[in-house]
Amino acid sequence: MFMTAIDTHIHSEGRSVEDLKFMAENGIKIAITCAFYPIRPSFPETLIDLARKLTEFEPERGEKAGMEIYSAVGIHPRCIPPRWDKVLGFIESYSGYVAIGEIGLEDGSDEEKEVLKAQLQLAKKLDVPAIIHTPRKNKDAILKKTLEILDAVSFPEELALIDHNSVETVKVVLEKRYWAGITVQPGKLTVDEAVKIIEEFGDERLIANSDTGFSESDMLAVKKLYDACGNERVVRRNAEKFFKI
Amino acid sequence: MFMTAIDTHIHSEGRSVEDLKFMAENGIKIAITCAFYPIRPSFPETLIDLARKLTEFEPERGEKAGMEIYSAVGIHPRCIPPRWDKVLGFIESYSGYVAIGEIGLEDGSDEEKEVLKAQLQLAKKLDVPAIIHTPRKNKDAILKKTLEILDAVSFPEELALIDHNSVETVKVVLEKRYWAGITVQPGKLTVDEAVKIIEEFGDERLIANSDTGFSESDMLAVKKLYDACGNERVVRRNAEKFFKI
């Protein structure tokens, strides 16, 4: 029988309660829902209320579906509002989340770098994990810039989960002693590629997820990975350790 | 074969793109998505960005699903933020929506009444239709208060859709010459009850919807109503007229 798995990167807001139920019934009984706003917000207040929604409403909706939902709050590089420092001020005073995320660089602009740096400094100060996105385009080059910022703020290796790795980037991320997210999803990794990554690099610091959310996506990706390789660390135990859940 | 139907009251935000696709494939090819924020927002700015999201992102997501999504913007009585007049100022200057909604009274407090009144005055001034919610609890008493406010602002009958009617309230609403929404959904009307309402009161000013959204709900309610009675006016033509779509 399939064990309980943790999907460490979803956008539960883009999924109906029936979808969450379907995931839970298929063994994905725990998920981390990550902050993202699907248009660029005009106001920092929108992301503050989003953080409240993710930590108050989404776990409640998860409960109705038989799924335990934990939240990550923060500013995604594709939705940086004006006066974004207000969002960070709120997060610092707030609780109820398990990580800062998803954060990271998308195009690598100066503004994105500044926002990422400030969020990493906050995560380090608060001693909470950070979920760090890498984009589909120019993944290698953007990862390089991301690593420079992590270095610049002396970000603790054990608090950084660099996500959406390719076979190439996972090597770099693990060499730097960060946690590496493997996202099984059309357009990202196939189940076979993910299994090969586990075989090649070992399961010590790999964490699986689906990134399911606002777009059409495979909600059972983490289950399928488990079915293919039977690895409990990658689909659950590493996440428990990293997120302290 | 089932014709094209319009679901005039959904919260598309609570549905995945696959769900919207499922609805469209079953003939519900047009929907009106109504404003609602599932926690009480701390800031009016949140509802301004929500209006932008509903008019920019949701129609785009609908398009991917083969569904034409139109938006209603406004302040639901369960999510009135502080300084709510800022939201109305934004709506007045904005476009891209087909109605103000969903608005209305939930408990009938003085604040709710004030917000409803201001929104009705705005809808009248802008000459756009209003989708007016009635609550599950104390429906008759709250409808009475709602009608008093409509009277107080001399709201044009042809612009008011009073929604979620029971067999009792639909009579009152139609006597006042407003449009009456019939919501087919567990906890609201059954298909049989909706059919009886159509038979008893005629189809001239009845408009069907499902209210599907953040909670577990029957997405095909409007199709099921059509299958049971074959009435095109209630599942499409009246909505085209009311919303001018």
Nearest Cα to B97, choosing from B30, B34, B152? Answer: B34
Q: What are residue B132's DSSP bridge partners?
A: B103, B162
The predicted structure's pLDDT at residue B2 = 58
Would the CB atoms of B37 and A56 count as touching at under 8 Å?
A: no
A165-187 tens-digit pLDDT: 999 999 999 999 999 999 999 98
Cβ of residue B15 closer than 8 Å to a chain A Cβ: yes
Nearest to A48 among B18, B42, B216 (CB): B42
Question: A65 in helix, strand or coil?
Answer: helix
Q: Kindly report the average pLDDT of chain A as a whole number.
A: 97
Cis peptide before A102 (omega within 30 of 0): yes
Q: CB of B77 within 8 A of CB of B105? A: yes
- Which of A19, A33, A49 would best serve as a mutation to test chain B binding (most B beta carbons within 10 A)? A49
Distance of CA A87 to the CA centre of its chain: 18
A64-102 tens-digit pLDDT: 999 999 999 999 999 999 999 999 999 999 999 999 999
Q: In what order do the strands lie in the sheet with A68-73?
A: A5-10, A28-34, A68-73, A99-104, A130-133, A160-162, A179-183, A206-209
The predicted structure's pLDDT at residue A3 = 75
Percent of chain A with pLDDT over 70: 99
The predicted structure's pLDDT at residue A68 = 98
Q: How far apart are CA B71 and CA B190, in angstroms?
A: 26
Please say if the pLDDT value at position A1 is more than 50. no
Would the CB atoms of B48 and A42 count as touching at under 8 Å?
A: yes
Instruction: State the Cα angle at B36 between B23 and B161, rounded to 5°.
Output: 75
The predicted structure's pLDDT at residue B3 = 75
Half-sphere exposure of B35 (CA within 13 A, CB side): 35
What are the helix (H) ranges across chain B?
17-25, 44-65, 85-93, 110-126, 139-152, 167-175, 191-201, 221-229, 232, 238-243
Q: What is the pLDDT along chain B (245 residues), one digit of tens a residue?
A: 457 999 999 999 999 999 999 999 999 999 999 999 999 999 999 999 999 999 999 999 999 999 999 999 999 999 999 999 999 999 999 999 999 999 999 999 999 999 999 999 999 999 999 999 999 999 999 999 999 999 999 999 999 999 999 999 999 999 999 999 999 999 899 999 999 999 999 999 999 999 999 999 999 999 999 999 999 999 999 999 999 99
Query: For the residues A233-243, what does the mean pLDDT come to?
Result: 98
Q: CB of A128 within 8 A of CB of A71? A: no
Residue with tokens 């385009």: A137
The predicted structure's pLDDT at residue B135 = 96
The predicted structure's pLDDT at residue B179 = 98
Cis peptide before B102 (omega within 30 of 0): yes
A104-149 tens-digit pLDDT: 999 999 999 999 999 999 999 999 999 999 999 999 999 999 999 9
* Residue of chain B with shortest Cα separation from A47: B46
The residues, any chain, with a CB within 8 Å of residue B114's CB and separated by 6 or more, are: none
- Which of A45, A54, A94 would best serve as a mutation to test chain B binding (most B beta carbons within 10 A)? A45
Which domains are assigned to chain B? 5-243 (3.20.20.140)
CB atoms within 10 A of CB B193: 13
Nearest to B46 among A39, A49, A64 (CB): A49
Q: Which residues of B touch A71 (CB under 8 A)?
A: none
The predicted structure's pLDDT at residue A87 = 98
Query: For the residues A1-28, what does the mean pLDDT come to?
Result: 93
